[in-house]
Structure 1
Amino acid sequence: MKSKIMMVLLPVLALLAGTLAGCGSDTTKESQSTSSTTSTSKAEATSSDSPVTLTVEVFDRGIQGQPDLNNNTWTRYINDNFGKQNNAIVKFVPVPRSQEVDKLNVLMAAGEAPDISFTYDSATVSRYANMNGILQLDDLLNNNGKDLTNYLGKKVLTYGAFDGKQMAIPAKRTSLAWIGMFIRKDWLDKLGMPIPTTRDELYNTLIAFRDKNPGGVDGVIPWGVAATGMNYGYGNLIDSFWGKQSEEEFVTTPGWLKPGNKDAFKFLNKLYNEKLISPDFALDKTAKQVDADVTNGKVGFFSANWDYPLRQNISEPLKANVPSASFVPIDTFKNDEGKYKKIAYNENGISLFIPKSSKNAELAIKYLNWMSDPKVLFFLQYGQEGVNHNMVNGIPQVINQTGDNMQTSYLNLDYTLVVNGVELGDPEKNIKALAASAPGLEAVAEQSYKINTTDTYTGFFFDTPNEFNIKFGKTLGDMNNQMTDKLIVCKPSEFDSLYDKLVTEYMAAGGKAVMDENVKIYKAMQANK
């Protein structure tokens, strides 16, 4: 079953609500949009002696040695190849990555948000749209965004539509793999054991790792786990226990109530009490401890991002500490249907939008339309051959640099707004380019990507914010983490009663309200199809 689940809604500042609410009622949205577009055209029809300044958000990631975010190889290319041809100056407005939603709320409330603003939180965009704080983009895209529309395609654009109106432009996500699972192949070989392909086989393998300690290490950890949520989490183990549900049940019911979920946590509790997972995982909130355990050769199995063990901060120290160590990707959690279900990324990435306060909406769409040109995207991602990248077997490989040529995000993600991920115009080439970022481990990377894009489901996109999620989201998120830790470490004899007690408290603390509202929104969406 393929489904889509929206991220937890984040509250918008009261100041924002008051400011945007003053923009007008629903009945005036269309006239305001037309008026704004008209004023935009007038603003852009200025004399050639007075270039228009187009403001564009950019993440400030605070990376040591990063270049001036408004004056570097990439911004000069943008202004030389788009700005000059359109009598414009593209000015980038840095927003701290760690505070992106909070900062954006303040800018929106003050009417000072960049002409092109963005966020990874689609719920924030939905709220802005409901408050009439951003422009409807249908006409602007029809008139000035044909190349952009063709590049993104209808499916991706759907993620930016609210109540049938295009309110945001989602970037295209080209890499859909998310979570992977990895095991020490050298340990399996030493024990003469095959790669496990089921839960039971993995369980027996973990016992062998514990009892026979094939690495000969002090404090062997069969399965490395941390309390970080995704990296060093539980892979698709929990999903593999879930029983059949309708799509409505699957996307609206919290995990705690899904059939089989209790058995999944009972299994994790069994692993913990038999000393098969990291003993102090609940204290490891940053994954620093388990990172150290992995790179010191103590861990036999773990789950994380599909490319995690291929990253230099893991692969290089592991190779230095244990030259014979070899992690390989596996698929081991088969469900009752014989499938290895796992979550993957949706086809959309970051959401771009134009605030109602913008005077340069037409120019903003022209800019994104220009960016969707394959030649433009290639330069912004890879730069000049021999300077910013080398071609190896037809695949560009980035040359990491400092100064003006430095990319502060992977493949200049913060400047290539219309795409999240490698874009070489061919999915196979994209995968090979991803694999090229792990020199010497390219085949392992390709294998991991293939495994983790098979039998996948994606998050359901609710086109209406769940107000109860906004109200109770943080409380429920904190409870979710606490419940997970408590259930895994409790005594087996206490598990059943504790599970029932904690789930009852979770539902009473807002879980039921969120679920009921999800059902209501889901049914409304199906009725409007």
Structure 2
Amino acid sequence: MALTLLTSALAACSGQNTNDPKESPATGESSTPGAAPSGDPVTLTVEIFDRGIQGQPDLNDNTWTRYINENFGKANNAIVKFVPVPRSQEIDKLNVLMAAGEAPDISFTYDGATVSRYAKSNGIMQLDDLLEEHGQDLKNYLGETVLTYGRYNGKLMAIPAKRTSLAWIGSFIRKDWLDKLGLPVPTTREELYEALIAFRDKNPGGVDGVIPWGVAATGMNYGYGNLSESFWEEQSEEEFVTMPNWLKPGNKEALKFLNKLYNEGLISPDFALDKTAQQADADVTNGKVGFFSANWDYPLRQNISEPLRANVPEAVFVPIDAFKNDEGKYKKIAYNENGINVFIPKSSKNAELAMKYLNWMSNPEVLFFLQYGEEGVNHKMVNGIPQVINQTGDNMQTSALNLDYTLVVNGVELGDQEKNIKALAATAPGLEEIAEQSYKINTTDSYTGFFFDTPNEANIKFGKTLGDLNKQMTDKLIVCKPSEFDGLYDSLVQEYMAAGGQAVMDESVQIYRAMQEANK
């Protein structure tokens, strides 16, 4: 899940392919005072995602790994060895390594349910004492709010990375089309509906097969933004955090609205078949789409902005807030403050060294180098903001800002959130103002998912089944005949609850109430 503007930054710029990592006494000594331990060096194994990027460097021998071994390894008489795990198979591979007792000393996953299972089976270490003794810098950097996401049954079982970019889903509209039609930027559902009708009937782009609202079957990108939230009615906190969306008052009306749009030809006609979003991308970049919802930075990414500019130079997508609820707010989900979950397997013989490594990484100098490298080689400064120079060879970053090497943070970390946002915006040259506007819109009136400190066994058991059902139900309800909608909605929700939805909700209620009681 690292969903930032920088994920698109893979354009190959020429430059030096190697640079010697510079030892920094500050980074080598701040977390590991005194002389390095004597004797044979200890090998600390650390998981690394192998994303299969074309031309990627040796994941154990590149600019970044040499810096790590020079500055952390030598100071601790250690060799840091990275264990590649295919990104697309990370859970399956991790399960195999854990079962064999061969998981890296520092392992990680974005999947909270996986950490819950490992914690329940006593397969990972409790980290409270290790953090207290060897992780004070890390503890101060993350803060208690972030660390809370690593607690299971009150015990710290994982170190969550700090997520610095909290914006998630956004909505975007063709401003040039609105201007051509003399329409305002929509601020309500009704205004958006009128704009979509005008796009359909007047086709301001003069394209063959105009698509007022671009949709795909992928879930987040080309989805429905915060439409449902604008229909949801008042609920208690317990109801809001424990009840599946299907049961939320107003959710049925939200899906009925989408069904209306589909049957009026305002939504991509074959969206349910577009499971990779390739068709939706093509429709957007060929200038056929007037409005869509996706990740907050999606139209600013190079794979969208550059072909769109080439195909339709006058096209301008701007972020909008159009889904206002009855309280006058634009409620939308944002990311929680936590990112990837880092843990130490019970099989590790180097738990203390592992915690020291994470503690060392929280040093601002270390994070800056791992994210941006050396000025003039790996980045350039523009108006006080570093900009990555994308390269191949040893200097190549195989994930945005070396996300896979900077395990204590997800996102830009310049020590100041305003600078972080400007750094994100700077990766979209010419669109910086739109990027900042989108980030601001999509972190206003936002809410985050509730964190349950106890694993939900029913969710572990039924989660995948329910996730698949969610997508199938949504597609069926959007494309059905309006006369069939009410009956179909009720029958599908009944099926969902019987397939595990009721069990998950019941257990969520139990955990929620226990947490509230414990906090009295």
TM-score if structure 1 supplies the norm length?
Answer: 0.91
Residue number among 95, 99, 116 corresponding to 2:85 in the alignment:
95
What's the offset of the Cα at 1:490? 0.8
Give the Cα separation in 2 of the matches to 1:46 and 1:445: 46
Does residue 414 of the first structure (1) align with residue 404 of the second (2)? yes
> Match for residue 13 of structure 2?
none
Q: Is 2:468 aligned against 1:484?
A: no
The answer as to whether partners of 2:174 and 2:318 remain within 8 angstroms in 1 is yes
Matches within 5 A, 1:503-514: 503-514=493-504
Does structure 1 residue 307 correspond to structure 2 residue 286?
Answer: no
For residues 94 and 396 of structure 2, what CA distance do their matches in structure 1 show? Answer: 25
Say whether residues 1:389 and 2:379 are aligned partners.
yes
CA distance in 1, matches of 2:148, 2:499: 33
Distance in 2 separating the partners of 1:388 and 1:208 = 47
2:156 corresponds to which of 166, 169, 172: 166
Q: 1:126 aligns with which of 116, 125, 133?
A: 116
- Matched length: 485
Q: Counterpart amino acid of 1:410?
A: A
Calculate the TM-score normalised by the size of structure 2: 0.92
Query: Which residue of the partner structure matches residue 224 of structure 1?
Result: 214
Q: Tell me the CA shift for residue 312 of structure 1.
A: 0.4
Alpha-carbon shift at residue 47 of structure 1 (Å)? 6.7
Which of 233, 237, 249 is residue 259 of structure 1 equivalent to?
Answer: 249
CA contact (8 A) 2:152 2:455 kept: no
Please give the root-mean-square deviation of Cα atoms over the aligned residues, in Å.
1.1
Paired amino acid for 1:55 = T
Match of 2:431 in 1: 441
SS in 2 for 1:56: strand
What is the Cα deviation at residue 474 of structure 1? 2.0
CA contact (8 A) 2:329 2:445 kept: yes
Matched, 1:154 2:154: no
How much does 1:509 deviate? 1.6
- The alignment status of 1:317 with 2:307, answered yes or no, reads yes
In the alignment, structure 1 residue 135 sits paired with structure 2 residue 125? yes
Give the SS at the match of 1:151: helix
Per-residue CA deviations over 1:46-95 (Å, capped at 9, x if unaligned) read 97230000000100001111000000000000000010011000000111
CA contact (8 A) 1:312 1:438 kept: yes
Instruction: State yes or no: 1:528 paired with 2:514.
Output: no
User: Counterpart of 2:491 in structure 1: which amino acid?
Assistant: K
C-alpha separation in 2, matches of 1:127 and 1:470: 8
Percent identity over the alignment? 85
What is the SS of the residue equivalent to 2:347? Answer: coil
Corresponding position: 1:362 with 2:352 = yes
Give, as a single letter, the amino acid of the residue that structure 2 aligns with 1:356.
K
Q: How does 1:45-124 map to 2 (within 5 A)?
A: 48-124=38-114
In the alignment, structure 1 residue 277 sits paired with structure 2 residue 267? yes
Query: Residue 493 in 1 paired to residue 483 in 2?
Result: yes
Code of the aligned partner of 1:188: L
Per-residue deviation, residues 9-30 of structure 1 (Å, max 9, x unmatched): xxxxxxxxxxxxxxxxxxxxxx
Q: Is the 8 A contact 1:181 1:302 kept in 2?
A: yes
CA–CA distance in 2 between the matches of 1:79 and 1:127?
A: 32
- CA–CA distance in 2 between the matches of 1:84 and 1:452? 44
Amino acid at match of 1:525: M
Unmatched tracts of structure 1, length 5 or more: 1-44
1:342 deviates by 0.3
The CA deviation at 1:126 is 1.7
Instruction: For residue 467 of structure 1, report the CA deviation from its aligned partner.
Output: 1.7
Asked if 1:519 corresponds to 2:509, the answer is: yes
Shift of 1:507: 1.2
1:289 is matched with which residue: 279, 292, 295?
279
SS at match of 1:64: coil
- The aligned amino acid for 1:285 is K
| AA of the residue aligned to 2:312 | V
Partner of 1:301: helix, strand, or coil? strand
Q: Structure 2 vs 1, CA of residues 319 and 47 (structure 1 numbering), >3 Å: closer, same or farther?
A: closer
Contact kept in structure 2, 1:55 and 1:115, CA below 8 Å:
yes
Return the alpha-carbon distance in structure 2 between the equivalents of residues 370 and 470 of structure 1. 34
Query: Segments of 4+ in structure 1 off by > 4 A?
Result: none
- Amino acid in structure 2 at the alignment position of 1:214: P
Once structures 1 and 2 are overlaid, which stretch shifts more, 337-346 or 495-504?
A: 495-504
User: Per-residue deviation at 1:495?
Assistant: 0.8
What is the SS of the residue equivalent to 1:463?
coil
Task: Indicate if the aligned counterparts of 1:126 and 1:463 stay in contact, CA closer than 8 A.
Answer: no
